[in-house]
Amino acid sequence: MWKKIKSWPLLLPVVALILVMAVNIIHDAATGANPLSFFMISLRDTTTSGTILYGRIVDIINRGSEVAILAIGMTLVVSASAGTDISVGSVMSLCASFMCMMLAGYGVSSTTTLAVPLVIGLVAAIVMGIVCGAFNGTLVAHLSIQPMVATLILYSAARAIGLLLCNDLIVYVRNPSFAYFGAFTGPIPTPIIITVICIVIVSLVLRKTALGMYIQSVGINAKASRIAGLNSKLLIFLAYTLCGLFAAIAGIVASSRITSADSNNIGLYLEMDAILSVALGGNSLGGGKFNLAGSIIGAYTIQAITTTLYALGVSSIQAPVFKAVIVILIVVIEAPPFKAFVSKLSAANAAKGVRA
Amino acid sequence: MSDKAKAKKSFNSNTLLLFITIVLFAVLYAGGCIAYGSKGFTHFQTFLNILITNAGLICVTCGMTCVMLTGGIDISVGALIAMDCMLLAVGMKNGMGAVPMVLIILLIGAVFGIFQGFLVGYLEIQPFIVSMAGMFFCRGMTAVICTDQVSITQEINPVFYAWANAKVIVPFGGYINNKGKYMAPYVRPGVIVALLVLVITFIMLRYTKFGRSLYAVGGSAQSAAMMGLNVKRIKMGAYMLSSFLCSVGGICYCLNTMAGSVSQATGLEMDAISSAVIGGTLLTGGVGNVIGSFFGVLINGTISSIVKTNGKLASSWPNILTAALLFVFIVIQSIFAAIRERNK
């Protein structure tokens, strides 16, 4: 039984999530609040969006949407190419800027009416994301450039191009139809719905077709997969393109939330969170086997950690210290040399017991 | 092909890359001189100003090159610089002397590097993840120390202030300004430190056992281990060196900004990495040298200097141009790699 639990791939993210919840419960109990207030979900009437779901969990799942969407693409990229796409945050910002530029018209900094139909803006953002992803994919798959260097180009350029597109302004699109993607559908926050749709589609595709297996096999050994008849290059290219697509969707959500394209701040450091969710989800950053569910739980765990830190009174600029400590703890526990050391220790202890 | 000829060939394609980098710098600089000669771009001082602004980056890039030679990466450098500057500013504000503070900063850099190096070398955790955690830690720590901007003024620490404002006159290359006064070109002490770091790193990489073993580990960790090198310790050494040089760079950086703030030096790690890559260092390890990285920094500096001199271009252009250059360079590198592969 213990062995079964130990080999469960979701052990790490689930344990981390439970720990975060425990901290919340202890904190609530210590401050005299209802210990279970973390889990409370209630309906609340607001003047702006009608009756909505309210609660800390809802907030975490809502705020964690962008990271969760990014984590889907990042998981595929890490699995297929044994590298990370560090450009997703910048690409998010570029897509958002491009979309808002289309919706508002070039050089307009604030508008309530849309210059083009909303659909065109959304399609523009998604096409931009796919183009960026394809650019990264071409560099990695066809020119065999290390993923980090290849994506470093868009990491520094995409945000800057977004600024150029917006004429160095923050473009506000104050239109209810645009704000919908960051607001509420009935009582449920729309970002949650978008995330669920993304996850369902991707997991269906991975389950029903052999794509998931192909990507894993390329990640485990690209050469062997090619000899076995898989088009390794195409699969790696596809993973990066999908990653770009999801970055675009995350960008749409992020920019709709604030009804503007703030090139300098949308998606800032989100690539780090996305990579972290993949690692936290028990996936090896060395490529190969992946576990999408792990990455998603990892993404929400990170958001839960962030929200918890805020609840504990840590300011947003100081929170990274705790994140760093958590990351180091997790990777050290997961590191093979550490595991070997621990099992050696326990073996030595057992030997001592036998001798006595 | 004999082994010697092969070695010569691979040596040649690496030198060729370095040559391209230097030529590109010359072309860029000459272009700047022709286009903005009337705005004073031709003065020797413009070149020295690039050095003055980028003194910190030169130190950081030297360290980054050493880490990249082993096949690793260190993205914590920008945040470490922010923490260094904040510590310097807050420490001096609380009455510490300039020299003890500098020593403390260097010690912190080395200890931080040893910690990162231990995780990478001995626990075999991915360098990217380790240094990302290091980045989070330093950036957050900066905010824990102080959330406001802290300036170092003459009243707070006259010694440090004097260092920052000291001019080291360069004996050649001056010009006579329109009032008929001779303007002697000068550099700040930070530049001297940066150039010293550059020369020492160059000598270390080329002539010492540790420097050469960095190349060996980056070329193939397995072969290096079979050769009897202590791969784990060498990797740890590389990260220690990187963080230490980064702290040296942090002091140079602080001499320029004379302040500590949370958002300082954001994205500096990417500048350092792109400078090293433009200079011909491969992220896969084993190839590269600090001279190339130095020219990489100069190219970055020239681009921002040209954009600044123009004055009309949007502030995002240096980023885009540097990224475009990076693109060109890694494509050239990958073509070279493909040619080398074919010749094997």
What's the farthest any 2 CA atoms get from each other in chain B? 68
Q: Phi/psi at B151 (nearest 5 deg)?
A: -100, 150
Higher confidence at residue A110 or residue B84?
Answer: B84
CB B284 within 8 A of CB B71: yes
pTM above 0.80, yes or no: yes
Continuous segment of H or E residues that includes residue B122: none
Task: Write down how long chain A is.
Answer: 356
* Co-location of A301 and A328 in the same domain: no
CB B298 within 8 A of CB B32: no
Is residue A19 over pLDDT 70? yes
- Nearest-CB residue to B140 (from A275, A276, A324): A324
Is residue B323 over pLDDT 80? yes
- Whether residue B164 is contained in a domain is answered as yes
* Co-location of A192 and A336 in the same domain: no
CB pairs under 8 A between A and B: 135
Nearest to A132 by CA among A73, A191, A201, A81: A73
Report ipTM (2 d.p.). Answer: 0.82
- Whether residue A222 is contained in a domain is answered as yes
Mean per-residue pLDDT, B162-191: 83
Is residue B10 over pLDDT 60? no
Q: What percent of chain A has pLDDT over 70?
A: 99
* Co-location of A149 and A191 in the same domain: yes
pLDDT digits (tens, 9 = 90+) for A248-259: 999 999 999 999
- What does the pLDDT read at residue B7? 52
* Co-location of A329 and A292 in the same domain: no
Q: What is the CATH number of the domain that holds B273?
A: 1.10.3470
- Whether residue A43 is contained in a domain is answered as no
Q: What percent of chain A has pLDDT over 90?
A: 43
- Whether residue B262 is contained in a domain is answered as yes
What's the farthest any 2 CA atoms get from each other in chain A? 83
- Whether residue B320 is contained in a domain is answered as yes
Answer yes or no: do A139 and B134 touch at CB < 8 A: no
* Co-location of A63 and A182 in the same domain: yes
* Co-location of A322 and A221 in the same domain: no
Residues of A in contact with B331 (CB under 8 A): 143, 145
Identify each DSSP E strand in chain A by its residue range. Answer: 42-46, 50-54, 110-111, 171-173, 184-185, 188-189, 260-261
Q: How far is CA A154 from the centre of its chain?
A: 18
Nearest residue of B to residue A276, measured between CA atoms: B129
- Whether residue B171 is contained in a domain is answered as yes
Best to test chain A binding among B116, B316, B320 (most A CBs inside 10 Å): B316
Positive or negative: CA dihedral B324, B327, B331, B337: positive
Is residue A165 over pLDDT 80? yes
Q: Phi/psi at A96 (nearest 5 deg)?
A: -60, -45
CB B70 within 8 A of CB B217: yes
* Co-location of A309 and A331 in the same domain: no
Mean per-residue pLDDT, A186-203: 93
Q: Under DSSP, is residue B240 helix (H, G, I), strand (E, B) or coil?
A: helix
Residue B179 to residues B173, B174, B185: CA-CA distances in angstroms?
18, 14, 16
Q: Which of A9-13, A167-171, B233-237, B323-327 has the lowest mean pLDDT?
A: A9-13
Answer yes or no: do B128 and A148 touch at CB < 8 A: yes
- Whether residue A17 is contained in a domain is answered as no
Cα B293–Cα B299–Cα B303 angle in degrees, nearest 5: 150
- What does the pLDDT read at residue B5? 52
- Strand A110-111 and strand A171-173: pairing? parallel
Higher confidence at residue A179 or residue A37?
Answer: A179
CA distance A267 to A247: 9
The tokens of B215 are what? 């190349």
CB B123 within 8 A of CB A338: yes
* Co-location of A309 and A326 in the same domain: no
Q: Which domain holds residue A330?
A: 318-351
Q: How many domains does chain B have?
A: 1
Mean per-residue pLDDT, A16-41: 82
- What does the pLDDT read at residue B252? 95
- Whether residue A278 is contained in a domain is answered as yes
Residues of B in contact with A149 (CB under 8 A): 273, 277, 283, 326, 330
Mean per-residue pLDDT, B194-216: 94
Continuous segment of H or E residues that includes residue B39: none
Q: Under DSSP, is residue B228 helix (H, G, I), strand (E, B) or coil?
A: coil
- Whether residue A2 is contained in a domain is answered as no
- What does the pLDDT read at residue B1? 44
pLDDT digits (tens, 9 = 90+) for A32-43: 777 777 777 888
Q: How many domains does chain A have?
A: 2
**Side chain identity at residue A142, one-letter code:** H
- Whether residue A22 is contained in a domain is answered as no
Judge whether A168 is closer than 8 Å to chain B, CB to CB: yes
CB B85 within 8 A of CB B253: yes
Judge whether A320 is closer than 8 Å to chain B, CB to CB: yes
* Co-location of A247 and A332 in the same domain: no
DSSP string, B258-292: -EE-TTTTTTHHHHHHHHHHHTT--TTSS---HHH
* Co-location of A156 and A94 in the same domain: yes
Q: Which domain holds residue B66?
A: 16-35+43-334
Continuous segment of H or E residues that includes residue B4: helix B3-36
Is residue A354 over pLDDT 80? no
* Co-location of A98 and A231 in the same domain: yes
Mean per-residue pLDDT, B202-212: 94
> Which residues lie closer than 8 Å to B301 by C-beta, 6 or more apart?
B50, B51, B53, B54, B57
> Which residues lie closer than 8 Å to A180 by C-beta, 6 or more apart?
A190, A256
Min Cα separation A320/chain B (Å): 5
Answer yes or no: do B136 and A148 touch at CB < 8 A: no
* Co-location of A331 and A196 in the same domain: no
